[in-house]
Amino acid sequence: MNCKLLSGKKGVIFGALNENSIAWKVAERAVEEGAEIVLTNTAMALRMGDTNALAEKLNTIVIAADATNIDELDHLMKKTMEHFGGKIDFILHSIGMSPNVRKGRHYSDLDYDYLAKTIDISAVSFHKVIQTARKNDVMNQWGSILALSYVAAQRTFYGYNDMADAKSLLESIARSFGYIYGREKQVRINTISQSPTPTTAGQGVKGFDNLLDFSDRMSPLGNADADECANYCLTLFSDLTKKVTMQNLFHDGGFSNMGMSLRASEQYNKSFEYDKEHPFD
Ligand SMILES: NC(=O)c1ccc[n+]([C@@H]2O[C@H](COP(=O)([O-])OP(=O)(O)OC[C@H]3O[C@@H](n4cnc5c(N)ncnc54)[C@H](O)[C@@H]3O)[C@@H](O)[C@H]2O)c1
């Protein structure tokens, strides 16, 4: 008997750019657990990143798709069904990008064309992926669709900028479409709210290293890393979580329910000691 968690399951994984990407770890772990996968990313990311190398390693294929482009998503869904000779069981949306963050625009001085791009790439693309999957009838009953989010959807984090607005919408789409797809085909839709993680997207956030350290000190279990996130994603693709839907699930070592920890407070107090020792700095 094969006891692998995702044995017999098939899925599409968006967003594996390089070995630091959360989606990269999910792809590796999903295959280890017996899943068959198709990898996808934008044509540009396929040229600049290492997605093709991952596909080779995992003995699978890559189908290019910009997740903001309906025609490309439609092509992806059709080609995926062709590749597997049938429907799939899970989709991972692991996509985020803000031109305002990239160009260092402050939240009080946003470029609105950039904002539209942030929202389209980081949130509306999730709707587009689900809508295209549904129209092509790609998902098996009791399938699972998952996106990655961040606690800035609920709380304010200096530096996260317009990505916070995008994440709020992303989580809302999981609820709104989760109702429709759940009633219709028992497909569940969730988001995982992950700790800060040193990836290409993560490190683009202003003050990322401080954020990483602060949230690690604040979390009783410490930050969750990308490998741990991958493991959590797999549980949501598995049959062990069939009745979990329309949820935003925190995977953050407890951070989201903390106010102040001793470890963070001790570090904070050091700044007062420094002030006393260096009154003229
Ligand atoms: N790194 C963190 O600290 C952190 C924390 C919480 C949530 N997340 C979320 O995790 C997800 C994955 O990010 P990551 O940290 O692994 O970084 P990453 O940079 O490795 O992955 C981001 C991916 O998005 C892809 N992408 C960008 N625009 C796209 C488009 N138009 N169509 C399709 N793909 C596109 C990129 O090519 C890349 O593969 C994102 O949603 C991110 O917001 C990250």
Confidence of residue 270 (pLDDT cuts 50, 70, 90): confident
- For residue 54, pLDDT over 80 is answered with yes
Q: What percentage of the chain exceeds 90 in pLDDT?
A: 89
Q: How far apart, in Å, do the first and last CA atoms of the chain sit?
A: 68
Out of 148, 149, 232, 248, mutate this one to test ligand 1's pocket (max ligand atoms within 8 Å of CB): namely 148
- Mean pLDDT, the chain, as a whole number? 96
Q: Is the CB of 205 under 6 A from ligand 1?
A: no
CB atoms within 10 A of CB 182: 15
Q: Which pLDDT score, from 0 to 100, does residue 128 have?
A: 99
Q: Which pLDDT score, from 0 to 100, does residue 2 have?
A: 58
Please give the number of the atom of ligand 1 that sits closest to the Cα of 122.
Answer: 41
Would you say 40 and 118 are in contact if contact means Cβ atoms under 8 Å apart? no
Distance of CA 134 to the CA centre of its chain: 20
Residue 59 half-sphere exposure toward CB, CA atoms < 13 A: 5
Q: Which pLDDT score, from 0 to 100, does residue 206 have?
A: 83
Q: Which pLDDT score, from 0 to 100, does residue 267 have?
A: 87
- For residue 251, pLDDT over 90 is answered with yes
Would you say 29 and 1 are in contact if contact means Cβ atoms under 8 Å apart? no
Q: Which residue has the higher pLDDT, 159 or 36?
A: 36
- Whether 150 is a known active-site residue: answer yes
pLDDT single digits (tens) 99-145: 999 999 999 999 999 999 999 999 999 999 999 999 999 999 999 99
Q: How confident is the model over 68-80, as a mean pLDDT?
A: 98
Confidence of residue 203 (pLDDT cuts 50, 70, 90): confident
Among 112, 158, 160, 268, the one annotated catalytic:
160
Q: Which pLDDT score, from 0 to 100, does residue 277 have?
A: 78
Ligand 1 center–CA 122 separation, angstroms: 8
Q: Is the CB of 13 under 6 A from ligand 1?
A: no
E strand residue ranges, the chain = 10-14, 36-40, 61-62, 88-93, 139-149, 188-194, 248-251
DSSP codes joined into one string, 3-40? --TTTT-EEEEE---STTSHHHHHHHHHHHTT-EEEEE
Q: Is the CB of 150 under 6 A from ligand 1?
A: yes
Confidence (pTM): 0.96
Q: Return the bridge partners of 148, or none.
A: 192
- Whether 160 is a known active-site residue: answer yes
Q: Quick one: which of 255, 229, 258 has its CA closest to 24?
A: 229
